[in-house]
Amino acid sequence: MAQQVLRIKIYQSDAHYRIPFSYQRRFTYPIPPHSTVKGLICNVMGIKSSEDEKFINLKQGLSLAIYGTYESLVKEYLWFRNLEKDSHISKFKSVKNRTVDNIPNHPGGQMPVTVDVLHNVDLIVYVYHPELMEEIRQAFENPSARLSILHLGRAEDWIVIKEIKLIDIIKDNVSQLSFFAWIPSPADIDDELIPDKENYEKFYTQVNGNLFRLPIFYEITNSNQRIFNRYIEAKLFEKGGFRKQSFYMDSELKIPLFFAKLRAD
C-alpha cells in the first residue's frame, strides 16, 4: 500500500469542463474529469504523443483522485463560427459572397451557443504512480518542459498552482465530504488505495451520485479524428454525507481518497 501521494491545489478564476454531446447549450462538470487532469500532467511533463516513452510509463500506473468547489456558475452567450465551405454557402449562397443585406460579414456560418462557466474554482488533485510520482512533482514545481500555458478545460482557462506536496495517507472512518468528487466504480478504483474492496462495493452501491462513463484514453485516426477507446465509470458526488466508512485519507485535510486507476488496458 502506498504510504504517500502527491497533492496539488489549483485555483481557476474561470473554468469550463465540457460534458460531451452538449452543443447549443454547453454544460460543464463541476470538476474536471480524469482525462482532463491527465492532459495537464502530460502538458507539464512535455509529453507530445502516445508513443513517448514517458507516456507509456505514465499510463501503466497512474491513479487520480479529484475534488473541488466553485463559487458561482454563469451562462455566457457566444457565437460559434463554422468555416466549412458548405456552411458558408448555406449562409451566403455563394463561395465568393461575404455580404448579407449589403453588410459585410465574417466568412462561414454561425450559431448562438450558451456556455456554462464556473467562477472561482478551487481544486484538489491527488496523484499516485508507483514510479513517476517524484518526476511528476518536479514537473509541476518547474514546468520548463511544458507544451503550452498550464490550463484545465478550455485553452483560455489558465490555472494557478497553490500547492504541490507529497502527503502521508492514513486509515480512518469518515461520513462527510464537503467537495464535489468523482467516486470510481469498484472495477475502476485503485485496489491498493482502499482498505477493503468488499466494503467499498457496498459503499459505492449506496452512495448518492449521477453515474457517468468517462473517457480516459484515445487514438488519433488517419483522418485526424480523436477516437476514445478506454473508459471508466464513476459517480459524481455533490457534497454531503454518507454512511460512515473506513477509507485511506489525506492525513492533513481528512479527505477520503477515491483513486481511479487510469490504465490503457
| Residue 265 confidence (pLDDT) | 61
127-153 pLDDT, tens digit each: 999 999 999 999 999 999 999 999 999
Q: Which domains does the chain have, with CATH numbers?
A: 4-81+111-257 (3.30.70)
Q: Would the pTM of this model clear 0.85, i.e. be above it?
A: yes
13-54 pLDDT, tens digit each: 999 999 988 877 899 999 999 999 999 999 999 998 888 899
179-226 pLDDT, tens digit each: 999 999 999 999 999 999 999 999 999 999 999 999 888 776 776 676
C-alpha cell at 238: 455533490
104-116 pLDDT, tens digit each: 877 877 778 999 9
230-263 pLDDT, tens digit each: 889 999 999 999 999 999 999 999 999 999 999 7
Cβ-proximal residues to 212 (8 Å cutoff; 6+ apart), any chain = 33, 233, 234, 235, 236
What totals of helices (H) and strands (E) does the chain contain, helices first? Answer: 5, 10
